[in-house]
Each structure stands twice: as C-alpha cells, then as structure tokens.
Amino acid sequence: MVATAAVLSIGAGPVEAAPVSRTPAGGFEELLVPSSMGPIKVQVQWAARGGSSALYLLDGLRAPSDHSQWTTDTDALRQFAGDNVTLVFPVGGRSSFYTDWYRPSSTNGQNTTYKWETFLTRELPDFLAEYGVSRTNNGIVGVSMGGNAALTLAAHHRDQFRFAGSFSGFLNPTSPMWNHTMRAAMLDEGRFNIDDMWGPANDPAWSRNDVTVQAERLRDLPLYVTTGNGVPGPQDLPSGVGNTINGAAIEALAVITAGVFRDRVTALGIPARVDFTYGTHTWPYWQQSLTNARPMILDALHAH
C-alpha cells in the first residue's frame, strides 16, 4: 500500500498530496508522517533542483513540539536554499535522545514509547521515498542531545547515511559523569526517566548508543564534530546572563566528551574533523558549525 501525506503548506490549509517519483524543486512544506508513536510533523525544504539527497537535522533536549529550532533559531533554510539537497527537520522528541526506548517514561505519564531510531531510519525514509528522496544518500547532524544521536544513528545505519555531524554533542554517555548528568537533565526537561530509555547503566543499550564505544562503525564516513570551550563570547549576549551561565557549564562538559571521542578515533586511525572553538551551548554557535560543515555535506552527498 502506498502512503499519502497531509501536507501543510505555509499560509494554506491541509491538502492531500499524491505520491510523486521526483522530489519537488525547492520550497518549504510540513508533512505529517505516520509512525508507531503516532503522526510526526516533519518540516522539509526540498532540494533546489529536485535532487534525491537529504540532510536530517536533529534538535536538542528541549525540542519543541510544533517546529524544529533549526528553522527558527538558525539560517539553515537560507544556507541551503540554492543547494540540491532536501533538508529534513523532524519535530518533537524532547528528552528522547532520538533513540528507541524500552518503554514509556514512568515518571511523567507518557502514553507511547519513544521509537525515534525506528522512525528516523525506517518509517521516515520510507515515507520520503514516495517524494523521490533517496533512502541511502542522506547526511545527519544534531546539536546537544541530537549530536550523539546523529553519530550513533549513522554508525548503526551505514546503508542510509553518507555524512554525520555533532555540534556540542554528548559523545560518551557510558561515562559515569554523563549517566548522572543526563538523568538530571531529562528529569528537568519533562520529568523523563532515563531508566525507561536504556535501562540501568550496565545495560547493553548504553554502549550501543555511545558513539565513542561504537567509533569503529564510523570508519570511512565523513565526520564533523565541533564544540565550544564554555567561554562566553559576543554571540551569547542576546541569551541573557542566566542562559549564558547554563550554556557555559554544559559546553564545558561537552568539550570533554569531544576530546574523548577525538582521542578514540585517532587511536583507531579513523579520520574526523574535530573543531574546538570558543563559545557556549547555544544556537548562534551551531549555526556557524553548520556553515562550516556545509561544504563537507555537499561533497559527501554529491549535492552541489
């Protein structure tokens, strides 16, 4: 059976879209994609010239339920407007780490089990294929929570992803420090219970979702990892003092895991671009990271 989508065009009501064999040439739309979690909104900017490649962009821990922050807090749409690659912005998934959970969170009344890996690597690519988007020529980048997820998804689904990037990601969750840090963060953002995600700290799911542990699976994949050093800069001024202090503290931890990841891939002889910059855990720096990654992405996907 061929799936159809309710497409919400900006400034218009829902319309029924028939499947097509070629990606629309340019334009921005919002799709409702069926999944085991229920319908998921996905914002897309179609490839400028109808190309089949796609770049998935993942949000951070506080992912909104109505839009991707990539579309409002960065200039990603403008950056790639003339490029022959479809931008794919999954909406939602706060505190999910874009992974398949064992069960619904037991501390906040969640009704459905997060199954984000299944969605991003099976349900969504199958759906987008109806619009001419390749299942196998994709890139993926993520910020913060989405950073480790982007690299982990690429590691376990090499048939789908040709590029992976992490911006201020938490790249070593099996570290005892990160187990506690993630637990506290997820309780703070929606009262999610980390034990319902990957089980206790010695559960194999933790190692499976630790990209530093899984680094060998990334061999021969173009990689871009970047993080700030936690020192505030001019781009932090609009965030306010409180947010800047929090962002500095989080980034100071993220830079540690980026160093651990760099040392791991270096020891394995796996090439990766790893940039350490000034700045904190906030969107203006991630916009710059996307700018830096863009040439690598276009080369990897042959999407110029």
Question: Is residue 144 annotated as a catalytic residue, yes or no?
Answer: yes
Among 8-17, 83-92, 239-248, 265-274, whose mean pLDDT is lowest?
Answer: 8-17
Average pLDDT over residues 93-110: 97
Question: How sure is the predictor about 9, in pLDDT bands with cuts at 50, 70 and 90?
Answer: very low
Which listed residue (30, 117, 123, 251) is catalytic? Answer: 251
pLDDT in tens, 179-228: 888 898 899 999 999 999 999 999 999 999 999 999 999 999 999 999 98
CA distances from 196 to 98, 169, 201, 274, 284 (A): 14, 21, 11, 32, 33
Are 290 and 89 spatial neighbours (Cβ–Cβ below 8 Å)?
no
Question: Is pLDDT above 80 for 77?
Answer: yes
Return the pLDDT at 224: 98
Q: Which residues contact 272 (CB under 8 A, 6 or more apart)?
A: 218, 223, 224, 225, 261, 262, 265
Question: Is residue 251 annotated as a catalytic residue, yes or no?
Answer: yes
Return the pLDDT at 16: 41
Structural Rg of the chain based on CA atoms: 18
The structure tokens listed for 79 are: 């950056």
The structure tokens listed for 19 are: 């499947």
pTM: 0.89
pLDDT in tens, 229-264: 766 766 665 554 444 445 455 666 777 888 999 999
CA distances from 274 to 36, 161, 217 (A): 35, 19, 17
Return the closest-CA partner of residue 32 out of 22, 44, 20. Answer: 44
Which listed residue (96, 168, 281, 289) is catalytic? Answer: 281
The structure tokens listed for 197 are: 């995600």
Which listed residue (144, 168, 239, 289) is catalytic? Answer: 144
CATH of 5-301, one of 3.50.50.60, 3.30.70.260, 3.40.50.1820, 3.90.870.10: 3.40.50.1820
Strands 86-90 and 54-58: parallel
Return the pLDDT at 230: 66
Return the closest-CA partner of residue 100 out of 153, 41, 28. Answer: 153
Return the closest-CA partner of residue 272 out of 258, 254, 251, 291. Answer: 258
Classify 164 as helix, strand or coil: strand
